[in-house]
Homo-oligomer: A and B are copies of this chain.
């Protein structure tokens, strides 16, 4: 198995990306293809000191796509960027998956235009796995499609269902759609139509889910259009980090609190780990003809290694082939 790493993408690139790739080679026994500034990447490998150099390959890329540029333009113009080169190699079958912590927008555009959609899937989705109180759940679409049609939502459901079973090991995953009330007649026309399509599907559709219930993790697959999904993903992150910031500030504010903080350190640590979605790998760009994982922009080496683990589970679970077969059963 061979995985391509975008060595230049992310806040901590290239060092943490290269380090994470090396960790993945060690831990999972894969081969790594590092795309990026050859000189810099080689230097990092030397610095770290790695003894399985036969499992690493470096492909030089002279350009880097940043978060500031227009995603579609960047993908079209920067042919020699680490992202475009990596995606092209994925398309050509030179490796089994591609991991990047770079621009989400560019990766979405590149996945669509360079790698291409799965037959029967109209719109690929960005699908992160989010930690919930009763277990991790998948959210799709978390931002690939700001506007959606009901049939896109059905397709997201089909893909989420398959991913939940094959990668997260869920049995008969519960599928829900985000709505502003629990009752069937609630919400916009778009939601009502999507609801109907899901209700008549083969999935274990449990109906509407109100945003208040999402963090509990009762639903294994949470569906929404890319606008609402993106708001949910980011607010989740925002509320959690704000709470921790405030608690931290309070804990440092007095001796009594500091002592309490020392006692509770393992709790906070465990909690941060549980709520840290880098632990769960990255967000898969699902619905395209290749395994593309978007790691968080602030990913460290461990997060990159975890994203590689996630890619391996996708490859072994044959997610793409299963989606291709499953969508044939629907009249889409």
> How far is the CB of A162 from the nearest CB of chain B, in Å?
26
Q: Enumerate chain B residues within 8 angstroms of A216, measured Cβ to Cβ.
A: 238, 242
How far does the alpha carbon of A233 sit from the alpha carbon of B212 in the complex, in Å?
Answer: 8
Contact with B along A254-266 (1 / 0, CB 8 A): 0011011111101
Asked if A210 and B236 make an inter-chain contact with CB atoms under 8 angstroms apart, the answer reads no
> How far is the CB of A195 from the nearest CB of chain B, in Å?
13
How far does the alpha carbon of A237 sit from the alpha carbon of B216 in the complex, in Å?
Answer: 12
Contact among B188, B235, B243 with A212 in the assembled complex (CB-CB below 8 Å): B235
How far does the alpha carbon of A230 sit from the alpha carbon of B209 in the complex, in Å?
Answer: 12
Residue A20, interface by CB 8 Å:
no
Asked if A133 and B215 make an inter-chain contact with CB atoms under 8 angstroms apart, the answer reads no
Residue A92, interface by CB 8 Å:
no
Residue A52, interface by CB 8 Å:
no
Q: Enumerate chain B residues within 8 angstroms of A263, measured Cβ to Cβ.
A: 256-257, 259-261, 263
Asked if B271 and A227 make an inter-chain contact with CB atoms under 8 angstroms apart, the answer reads no
Contact among B235, B247, B266 with A239 in the assembled complex (CB-CB below 8 Å): B235
Q: Enumerate chain B residues within 8 angstroms of A143, measured Cβ to Cβ.
A: 180
> How far is the CB of A152 from the nearest CB of chain B, in Å?
14
How far does the alpha carbon of A233 sit from the alpha carbon of B214 in the complex, in Å?
Answer: 12
Q: Enumerate chain B residues within 8 angstroms of A267, measured Cβ to Cβ.
A: 247, 250-251, 257, 260
Contact with B along A205-239 (1 / 0, CB 8 A): 00000111111100000000011101111111111
How far does the alpha carbon of A257 sit from the alpha carbon of B187 in the complex, in Å?
Answer: 43
Residue A245, interface by CB 8 Å:
yes
Asked if A238 and B264 make an inter-chain contact with CB atoms under 8 angstroms apart, the answer reads no
Contact among B188, B260, B266 with A262 in the assembled complex (CB-CB below 8 Å): B260
Asked if A187 and B227 make an inter-chain contact with CB atoms under 8 angstroms apart, the answer reads yes
Q: How many residues of A contact B (CB 8 A)?
A: 54
Residue A178, interface by CB 8 Å:
yes
> How far is the CB of A326 from the nearest CB of chain B, in Å?
28
Asked if B250 and A238 make an inter-chain contact with CB atoms under 8 angstroms apart, the answer reads no
How far does the alpha carbon of A133 sit from the alpha carbon of B228 in the complex, in Å?
Answer: 23
> How far is the CB of A106 from the nearest CB of chain B, in Å?
13
* Contacts of A263-304 to chain B: CB distance below 8 A: 263-264, 266-267, 270-271, 274-275
List 17 additional A-B contacts (Cβ < 8 Å) besides A147-B189, A227-B228. A132-B242, A143-B180, A146-B187, A211-B231, A212-B234, A212-B235, A213-B238, A214-B235, A215-B238, A216-B238, A235-B236, A246-B274, A250-B270, A250-B271, A251-B267, A257-B267, A264-B264
Which 3 A-B residue pairs are closest in the complex by CB-CB distance? Answer: A260-B263, A260-B264, A211-B234
25 contacts between A and B (CB under 8 A): A146-B188, A147-B188, A178-B231, A180-B230, A180-B231, A187-B227, A210-B234, A211-B232, A212-B235, A212-B237, A213-B238, A215-B235, A215-B239, A216-B238, A228-B228, A231-B232, A235-B239, A239-B243, A240-B243, A243-B275, A246-B271, A251-B267, A256-B266, A257-B264, A257-B266
